Amino acid sequence: MILKLSEGPVTMVVRSVTEADGKFGKQFVFTNEANDVLYLSDGAASRGLARLNLDAETAVGQTLTFSQVKKDGKTYTNIDRGGTPTATRTASTATPAPTSGITFDDAVALYARCVEAAIQHLAKRCEQAEIPVDGAAVQSAAATLFIASKGR
């Protein structure tokens, strides 16, 4: 089975690492004991393994966790040591999204406390820097927070 990081992190005991030519250039193929395969681009695999002081040969026998992180509109691949090997995925093994158990009203109250703390922090820093704080400055800071959080 082909494992895809877009479906979530993959942890495996690496049985073999080979190179292959893919649609987008050279790739590394990581295979586990169940003959499941994970394809990573040459760059992502090389950087991730080098960060762990491993290469294609020394990765064999290691338990590695592969994951994707999205940041600033880009997707990055991480490779870490350890973890519990992931069971082979099948089409029927969909994991339901976890629920937070927080009510809407509690979420609103929590958000209000966070915004209040951020505004108090802004006011304190402005006071320390001798910068006058008025309603426009608070509104501008709030807009900046909303804009910054939109990209996450």
Same domain, 60 and 125: no
Collect all residues with Cβ–Cβ distance below 8 Å to 12 and sequence separation of at least 6. 3, 30, 32, 33, 36, 38, 63, 64, 66, 85, 86
Same domain, 8 and 77: yes
The number of domains in the chain is 2
> Model confidence at 49, in pLDDT bands (50, 70, 90)?
very high
Output the pLDDT for position 115.
Answer: 78
Tell me whether residue 93 is in a domain: no
Output the pLDDT for position 90.
Answer: 46
Is residue 85's pLDDT more than 70? no
More confident position, 22 or 149:
22
What is the extent of the structural domain holding 56?
A: 2-81
Average pLDDT estimate for 89-116: 70
